[in-house]
């Protein structure tokens, strides 16, 4: 199975309004609730691709119960969330249907106690014994050490499990130093990590900082990958419009599924790019438009070069 870690799980609430205007009341045309947080979004896409996946992280309070109830009803996903005393967070996405733009509101998450963090670390180490790959995803809730991902990367490496890190800020900077197999920053996260806004230079710098491979998400321009095997750029056949929430998480699912299937890098990148674009066409994160995905996959352009042996 593939393991995804979401320390800061959430109940994602998506509102759709005709036109979002500040300082006014709005009539909501549709409300959708889903378990969320980056790793949970990754897990749902992996399950839809046919990969058994286990979700761990923290869950607490009424929001945590709602997250777990919905996860239990998701085919292919196993709930291994660790209980905590605080209430899990909510995120609210407001979609303006006239423009397709989305406004996101993210709560900080529950305060994690030292004993709860220790219990999670024990559960994580046990889950790794049956994992083919692990993804460490998203923000850290209050109380979790900022260097937590670095420790989790080291634990996975010691267990011989390939590890993908998808976070930002100081958590990314410290996590990269622990030498994950892959990181997937977006352009802003990559620039913050390296100080460079030139994608290729920044991606190469991120590798020098410790990541074995780096796949940078460049929005509508697709993905840029620098790996020991070579470097490539993957771009969708056309720009898509819709809700971008969760598009990066779908790219992570594409990369992870390609890893466990032993696909060559160009095929992994094509899958990740197509999934990301097809998620923009879906109304909520953690889902993708399958017919659009299959059409996009056939049209993804992947260019690059293989490194000399």
Q: Which residues are catalytic?
A: 249
Contact criterion met (CB below 8 Å) for 162 and 133: yes
DSSP string, 239-305: ---S--TTHHHHHHHHHHHHHHTT--HHHHHHHHHHHHHHHHTSSSTT---HHHHHHHHHH-EEEEE
C-alpha angle 70-277-283 in degrees, rounded to nearest 5? 40
DSSP 8-class letter at 161: -
Distance CA 16, CA 167 (A): 27
Distance CA 231, CA 199 (A): 12
The sign one gets for the Cα dihedral 263, 266, 272, 275 is negative
Cα separation values, 159 from 20, 125, 187, 301, Å: 48, 8, 31, 36
Residue 1 is encoded by which pair of tokens? 């199975």
Determine the number of helices (DSSP H) and then strands (DSSP E) in the chain: 10, 15
Distance CA 137, CA 120 (A): 15
Residue 73 is encoded by which pair of tokens? 């009803």
Helix (H) or strand (E) holding 87: none
| CB contact set of 144 (below 8 Å; sequence gap of 6+) | 7, 112, 117
Distance CA 119, CA 7 (A): 13
């Amino acid at each position: 199975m593939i393991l995804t870690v979401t320390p800061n799980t959430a109940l994602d609430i998506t509102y759709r309004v005709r036109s979002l205007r500040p300082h006014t009341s709005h009539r909501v045309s549709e409300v959708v609730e889903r378990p969320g947080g980056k790793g949970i979004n990754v897990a749902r896409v992996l399950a839809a691709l046919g990969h058994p996946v286990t979700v761990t992280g923290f869950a607490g309070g009424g929001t945590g119960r709602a997250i777990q109830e919905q996860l239990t009803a998701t085919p292919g996903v196993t709930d291994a969330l660790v209980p905590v005393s605080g209430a899990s967070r909510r995120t609210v996405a407001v979609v303006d249907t006239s423009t397709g733009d989305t406004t996101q509101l993210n709560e900080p998450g529950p305060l994690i106690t030292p004993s709860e963090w220790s219990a999670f670390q024990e559960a994580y180490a046990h889950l790794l014994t049956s994992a083919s790959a692990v993804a460490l995803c998203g923000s850290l809730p209050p109380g979790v050490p900022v260097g937590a991902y670095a420790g989790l990367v080291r634990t996975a490496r010691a267990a011989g499990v390939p590890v993908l890190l998808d976070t930002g800020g100081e958590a990314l900077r410290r996590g990269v130093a622990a030498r994950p197999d892959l990181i997937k920053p977006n352009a802003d996260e990559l620039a913050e990590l390296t100080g460079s806004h030139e994608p290729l230079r920044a991606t190469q710098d991120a590798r020098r900082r410790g990541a074995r491979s780096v796949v940078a998400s460049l929005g509508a321009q697709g993905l840029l990958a620098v790996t020991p095997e070579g470097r490539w750029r993957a771009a969708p056949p056309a720009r898509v419009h819709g809700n971008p929430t969760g598009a990066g998480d779908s790219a992570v699912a594409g990369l992870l599924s390609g890893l466990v299937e032993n696909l060559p890098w160009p095929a992994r990148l094509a899958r990740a790019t197509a999934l990301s674009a097809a998620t923009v066409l879906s109304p909520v994160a953690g889902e993708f438009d399958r017919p659009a995905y299959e059409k996009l996959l056939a049209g993804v352009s992947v260019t690059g070069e293989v490194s000399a042996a």
